[in-house]
Amino acid sequence: MNGLTDIKESVRQREYIDRIAGLVRDRGLKYLVVTFGCQMNERDSEKIAGSLEEMGYTKAMEESEADILVYNTCTVRENAAVRLYGRLGVAKSYKEKNKDMLIAICGCLMQEEHAVEKIKKSYPFVDIIFGTHNIFRFPELLYKRLESSESIADIWECGDRIVEDLPVRRKYDFKMGINIMYGCDNFCTYCKVPYVRGRERSRDPKEIIREIESCVEDGVVEVMLLGQNVNSYGKGLDTKTDFPMLLEEVCRIDGLKRVRFMTSHPKDLSDSLIRVIAENPKIARHIHLPLQAGSDRILKAMNRHYTKEDYISLALRIKQEIEDVSLTSDIMVGFPHETESDVDETIDVIERVRYDGAFTFEYSPRKGTPAAEMEQLDKEYVQKNFDRVLKCVQKVSKEQAKRFEGRTMEVLTEGVDEKDPERFTGRLSQNSVVHYPMEGHKVGDMVRVRLDECMGFYYNGHIVD
């Protein structure tokens, strides 16, 4: 049964969707889901939006217009929580104007007891609180709230169920994210994810393929396979599989033009994965390979299970085996006990690997993680080191951005250029953005574009037949 969807539960939730549809019908009610955090949260929000649309709500353009407002929260860093509380303060005034408005909060932050207590105490106008493990129960919770007019908080300590087969409202028609696994077992010492998302569990490969196939029939041409550590996909499943095997199967889907994935933990990235990517032109030439830190001492304290040299040799192997690959990263500055010379090691990796882009974060202590118990660094000291790292990332990625200028490359057309209605915006397999005149093409088309000029972090080009 491992990895299989709990069908009974999705049938139950669909019944609640139908009941709410009976209540909502023809009332012109609107919803908005506001997402904080990562791609996993984006995907969860698409599921919540899908249920709401099936119930008969239509999407509002702004929070103030919504009859139901859902905040899908993040707890990876402190500032996501701060931003949520700011938004809630404003939402209160919308609710004063529209007495029937409902506010729901879900996501990772709601798995933290102190945050739920704070919301109950300081924001008592919030109607529904639920967590990551019972997100599929949203229709049932909403129905109960509509019936009783009492606030509801339903948080599960843990969860191993996989409930799919519920409606999804995708943000884009031509591309989709799909969870191939949930949770994380790595327990990096700074990170909250394993506590709020639970143990790692993979979805059955047949169900993943079936879901992608049905979306491709609907017009999807690009898929992003999502997991906290996709490289350990398949562990614990009854079917013998792993991430490279899954990728190969996904690539065989007719009509699918591009396959992306996120995120790869460096400790588990295998040679067979590198080979599969190199051999399959459908797989994007882009690997997001979070470094976190360059110093062996800090990497050990972070529980990352690789050394600086392991990381560099992996990155260089990837670059050698996969032509034109782009590498991006997550880098953290200010982990407890990190010194200037530790940060020099991080900068050394950035210069040697030459990232095409990197997210840089100041370390943020998260309650309940081992690193939060360690002695914390002085903020000014961290800020100085952070600035050095950021400057280095910007310099290297700016130099890297120019590397395809003058080349003709495949671009997936993503939409109309916001600044010019006569032009499209698309993306290279490497993930760089390209703008080009339309010339009779449509969104979702793969076109060959000459990259005439690098404009900093994007290219201007034209379609070449």
**Residue 194 touches which of ligand SAH, ligand SF4, none (Cβ within 5-8 Å per kind):** ligand SF4
ω before 263 within 30° of 0 (cis)?
Answer: yes
Q: Which candidate, 443, 461, 464, 440, places its Cα nearest to that of 451?
A: 461
- Is position 184 an interface residue for ligand SF4 (rule: CB under 6 A)? yes
Which of 51, 179, 229, 264 forms a contact with ligand SF4 (CB under 6 A)?
229
Residue type, 195: Y
What minimum distance in Å lies between the beta carbon of 272 and ligand SF4? 20
Near ligand SAH in 305-334, by CB under 6 A: 330, 332
- By a kind-dependent CB cut-off of 5 to 8 A, residue 357 interacts, out of ligand SF4, ligand SAH, none, with none
Interacting residue with ligand SF4 among 84, 191, 216, 259 (CB under 6 A): 191
State which residue, 138 or 306, has the beta carbon closest to ligand SAH: 306
Task: Note if the bond before 58 is cis, omega within 30 degrees.
Answer: no
* Rounded Cα–Cα distance for residues 465 and 453 (Å): 19
Q: Which x/- pattern, by CB under 6 A, does the window 365-384 give for ligand SF4? A: --------------------
Q: Which is nearer to ligand SAH, 78 or 420 (CB)?
A: 78
Per DSSP, the three-state class of 363 is: coil
With CB atoms as reference, the residue minimizing the distance to ligand SAH is 330
* DSSP β-ladder status, 408-416 and 433-437: unpaired
CA angle 378, 345, 230 (to 5 degrees): 95
Alpha carbons 11 and 6: distance in angstroms, whole number: 9
Helix (H) or strand (E) segment spanning residue 29: none
* Per-residue tokens: 379: 């903020």
Among 72, 232, 263, 326, binds ligand SAH (CB under 6 A): 263
Please name the residues in contact with 173: beta carbons below 8 A apart, sequence gap of 6 or more: 218, 219, 220, 443, 444
Residue closer to ligand SF4 by CB (options 242, 268) is 268
Stretch that binds ligand SF4, among 101-109, 141-149, 181-189, 334-342 (CB under 6 A): 181-189
Q: Is 425 in the site for ligand SF4 (CB under 6 A)?
A: no
Among residues 349, 365, 367, 359, the alpha carbon closest in space to that of 386 is found at 359
Q: How far apart, in whole angstroms, are the C-alpha atoms of residue 312 and residue 381?
A: 27
Of 9 and 356, CB closest to ligand SAH: 356
Rounded to an integer, what distance in angstroms lies between the CA atom of residue 187 and that of residue 305? 11
Q: Kindly tell me which of 71 and 361 has the beta carbon lying closer to ligand SAH.
A: 361
Name which position in 133, 175, 258, 265 contacts ligand SAH (CB under 6 A): 265
332 contact, one of ligand SAH, ligand SF4, none, CB 5-8 Å limit per kind: ligand SAH
Of 72, 73, 228, 295, the residue at the interface with ligand SF4 (CB under 6 A) is: 228
Q: Which does 187 bind (CB under 5 to 8 A by kind): ligand SF4, ligand SAH, none?
A: ligand SF4
How many C-beta atoms surround the C-beta of residue 120 within 10 A?
Answer: 13
Pair of tokens at residue 451? 């990259």
What is the x/- site pattern for ligand SAH, positions 217-246, by CB under 6 A? -----------xx-----------------
Token readout for 185 is: 């077992």
- Given the complex with ligand SAH, which of 143 and 386 has the nearer CB atom? 386
Q: Classify residue 142 by burial, with Cβ atoms within 10 Å: 0-12, 13-18, 19+.
A: buried
Number of C-alpha atoms within 13 angstroms, CB side, residue 5? 18
Binding partner selected for residue 182 from ligand SF4, ligand SAH, none, CB under the kind-specific 5 to 8 Å limit? none
| Residues binding ligand SF4 (CB under 6 A) | 184, 186-188, 191, 193-194, 228-229, 265
